[in-house]
A and B are shown apart, each in its own frame.
Chain A
């Protein structure tokens, strides 16, 4: 691949939900009836987001000041939020989402 941020996410910063995040420019996200498919051009991996709320969170990340706000805005129930944070940590680890540069 010609694009720079390619390759699996290695020793990047740990996932921090207090920070603002966004989808990586190396991924394409496509809604499906069952959630969404995410293809990462660098790693060639396909991720499957299994709930509409998670899709909303991930696509909306860049519009929120931090991850918690994005989760709340997507209407995720309190009880589910730890699971969502864990899922998002996984998506950060595999390069699907990145911390936004602070302006």
Chain B
């Protein structure tokens, strides 16, 4: 059997997984897939996080992709980073750069088995800050400068491709080259706050072709994280695995210990369980109903007869789900146009699924329905005020610029 077949049936342990450490964030990006902003009162404690790491070590997960929210606003972030690496679980983390001053950059440069990914959604401040907030471009570039100066080998720059930045692909590549970084482009999905801006920001069909052509011509050293395999139907399959690994090879652990199939599917329908329950994460990975279902052979449904199904695989289940399309039909951005047809064929009064997990600072308080009894929080100390920190604190920049939250 080829490796990719083993992947489709699920592995005994994930190869890696995304772990959103906190819903707190100093920014309020308009397309945030996790609708982050405010810390959840029920987030895993340091001790709980360490015991999750212990479990991942036992399961021999190769590495964790830490994100959030902004993971570095957790005061224990650096402690957990070291703990994980000391316990043979590599760490790759995604950040907006807020805490990556010279000192931390030098620390990271001395640390093995850690990868850093800086989020940037525009090659210019104008394009970037429109989506991520005033000052966020400068903050990201400063982090890249600090990492380069400290000799940190090859950070990643992660770009969510939108209608507004597709024309900047060459410039993104130049920025990456300038800072000795590797460019990674990712697909915008109608998930989290992304649902609210998807109509306005998702690339047009002509732009999808533009991205595909660019990847074929110049994408040799460019990573296509979060998958562009639906673009493969334009012609030659793009390099990389082009496979949905949700619940089979990867999954998501959220800040309160909920385990989802993937970070783009933070919704009850894709919730496999909570790792605070007996059996922990391993029990969920191995035996949850949702993951067992995802590991059944996929038939392809309406897409099975398409000649591109082998490389496209019917696209992304989260993209379909959050646009109200059936999971066994085309992706909303199907490059053959079947997605547009399917969208047009939806009921006129259909309301698309929306997650009840919303930590946006603009959301009403108590917007999260607790699913488990609140644990006693003896000795928890003062609540984390990090979500009210100006994004530009620590960076020496003009702190009179209002945080992005003011726009939210």
Contact = CB atoms under 8 A, between A and B. Distances in A.
The answer to whether A and B touch in the complex, with CB atoms under 8 Å apart, is: yes
B60 interface: yes
B153 A6 contact: yes
Contact of B109 (A2, A39, A46): A2
Interface in A1-43: 1-3, 6, 28, 30, 32-34, 37, 39, 41
Contacts of B109: 2
Contacts of B3: 46, 48
Interface residues of B, number: 23
A99 B110 CA distance: 25
A1 B88 contact: no
Contact of B114 (A2, A34, A37): A2
Contacts, number: 46
Given A2-B108, A32-B6, A46 B153 contact: no
Contacts of B108: 2
A100 B141 CA distance: 41
A5 B407 CA distance: 45
A1 B154 contact: yes
Nearest to A48: B3
B1 interface: yes
A28 B57 CA distance: 12
Nearest to A40: B62
B15 A41 contact: no
A2 B62 contact: no
A67 B51 CA distance: 39
Interface residues of A, number: 14
B66 to A, nearest CB: 15
Contacts of B110: 2
Given A28-B62, A34-B6, A39-B15, A2 B1 contact: no
B112 A2 contact: yes
A72 to B, nearest CB: 27
Interface in B103-146: 108-115
Given A1-B154, A39-B62, A41-B90, A32 B11 contact: yes
A1 B12 contact: no
B164 interface: no
Contacts of B11: 32, 37
Nearest to B16: A39
Interface string B1-44: 10100100001110100000000000000000000000000000
Contacts of A41: 63, 90, 113
B115 A46 contact: no
B228 interface: no
Contacts of B111: 2
30 contacts: A1-B112, A1-B115, A1-B153, A1-B154, A2-B109, A2-B110, A2-B112, A2-B113, A2-B114, A2-B152, A3-B112, A6-B153, A6-B154, A28-B60, A28-B62, A28-B90, A30-B13, A30-B62, A32-B11, A34-B1, A34-B6, A37-B11, A37-B15, A37-B62, A39-B62, A41-B63, A41-B90, A46-B3, A46-B15, A48-B3
Interface of B: 1, 3, 6, 11-13, 15, 60, 62-63, 88, 90, 108-115, 152-154
Given A1-B153, A2-B110, A28-B62, 9 more contacts: A1-B114, A2-B109, A2-B113, A3-B113, A6-B153, A28-B60, A30-B62, A39-B63, A48-B3
